[in-house]
């Protein structure tokens, strides 16, 4: 898609635009063919590519882990069983180290969060043009749509809708267990009687609005930071891959306009340079995608521990 038909700005915008379906003021229920149409569809538009990849990767996680759980033996484990056991043991150790209460929901939730986010992040290691190009060819040859109007983002965590949705789910569970463990009175008391406290009743009543303000800011910041941290890091990583693709494409265009074929020294150097640059960032990005999944999981466990802690 990085061709001379698109400017660098168009190329970046195309790769960062989601495949959107919604109610357009003029076109009715339809797929957006431009960023302007997607914007006009408003808040309730669906990012189809985000939904597609997040659901597919979630189902893949369930399928492989369930299959290995059913096939598990006490003898010499297979390679996949050994990998699954290693991941489960890692999650179990993390939960035991950060969660001090008892709740059978927390370990499987931590496992789901870590593996699911890791799989969605892992899609960032697939070259940025491959799957969008395939989607463009399908749109052109099957549905007769201009490939430039086919949008297909494959990294769900670069969409704030996905990260905010996951963060709000964790937040809702945190509120639910806070009320379940501490009761409504205990939950309200945590919001109004801390951090400032006084044995004088009149002073304590005076301090309630200040405590409530500080605790609400702290409470609301948890899902916001959880969502935006994951989104920001993955979005930045995707942007760097796109910029590398632009640099490589610009080098190929330079070789073409100067009359040099790609089998010349210049063409070979450009190819080698682009491949090394992409490979170097991809190797580093393996650490990023794993770390972001681990941070999201760890904070989820910590927030659940805070919800179960009755002061």
Contacts of 151 (CB under 8 A, 6+ apart): 14, 17, 18, 19, 20, 32, 49, 132
Phi, psi dihedral angles at 145 (to 5 degrees): -100, 145
Residue in 1, 18, 2 with CA at minimum distance from that of residue 157: 18
Q: Specify the residue for token string 């076109």.
A: 27
Residue 244: HSE in the Cβ half-sphere, 13 Å Cα cutoff: 22
Alpha-carbon distances, residue 145 vs 135, 152, 173 (angstroms):
11, 13, 43
Residues facing residue 29 across a β-bridge: 23
> Which of these is catalytic: 221, 233, 249, 261?
233
Phi, psi of 29 (to 5 degrees): -70, 115
Q: Can 67 be counted among the known catalytic residues?
A: no
Give yes or no for a cis peptide into 195 (omega within 30° of 0): yes
Q: Based on the residue annotation, tell me whether 225 is a catalytic residue of this protein.
A: yes
Active-site option among 3, 82, 218, 225? 225
| Catalytic residue chosen out of the listed positions 141, 229, 249, 261 | 229
Instruction: Please count the other Cβ atoms lying within 10 Å of the Cβ belonging to residue 68.
Output: 18
233 is catalytic: yes
Cα separation, 251 vs 41, whole angstroms: 38
> Which residues, including other chains, have CB under 8 Å from residue 7's CB and lie 6 or more apart?
none
Give which of 12, 6, 50 is closest to 231, Cα–Cα.
50
Report d(CA 122, CA 131) in Å as an integer.
14
Catalytic residue numbers read 225, 229, 233
């Amino acid at each position: 898609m990085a061709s001379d038909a698109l400017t660098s700005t168009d190329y970046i915008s195309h790769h960062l635009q989601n495949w959107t379906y919604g109610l357009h003021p003029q076109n009715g229920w339809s797929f957006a063919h431009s960023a302007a149409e997607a914007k006009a569809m408003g808040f309730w538009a669906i990012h189809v590519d985000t939904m597609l990849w997040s659901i597919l990767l979630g189902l893949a996680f369930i399928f492989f882990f369930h299959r290995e759980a059913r096939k598990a033996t006490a003898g010499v484990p297979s390679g996949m069983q050994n990998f699954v056991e290693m991941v489960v043991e890692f999650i179990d150790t993390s939960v035991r180290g950060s969660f001090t209460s008892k709740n059978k929901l927390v370990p499987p939730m931590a496992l789901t969060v870590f593996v699911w986010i890791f799989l969605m992040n892992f899609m960032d290691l697939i070259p940025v043009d491959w799957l969008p190009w395939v989607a463009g060819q399908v749109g052109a040859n099957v549905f007769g749509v201009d490939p430039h109007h086919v949008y297909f983002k494959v990294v769900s965590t670069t969409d704030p809708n996905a990260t905010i949705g996951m963060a709000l789910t964790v937040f809702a569970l945190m509120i639910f267990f806070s009320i379940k463990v501490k009761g409504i009175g205990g939950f309200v008391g945590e919001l109004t009687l801390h951090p400032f406290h006084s044995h004088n009743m009149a002073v304590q009543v005076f301090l309630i609005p200040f405590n409530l303000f500080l605790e609400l800011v702290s409470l609301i910041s948890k899902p916001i930071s959880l969502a935006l941290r994951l989104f920001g890091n993955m979005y930045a990583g995707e942007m760097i891959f796109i910029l590398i693709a632009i640099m490589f494409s610009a080098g190929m265009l330079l070789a073409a306009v100067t009359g040099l074929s790609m089998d010349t020294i210049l063409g070979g150097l450009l190819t080698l340079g682009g491949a090394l640059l992409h490979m170097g960032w991809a190797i580093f990005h393996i650490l990023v995608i794993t770390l972001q999944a681990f941070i999201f999981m760890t904070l989820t466990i910590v927030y659940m521990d805070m919800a179960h802690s009755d002061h």
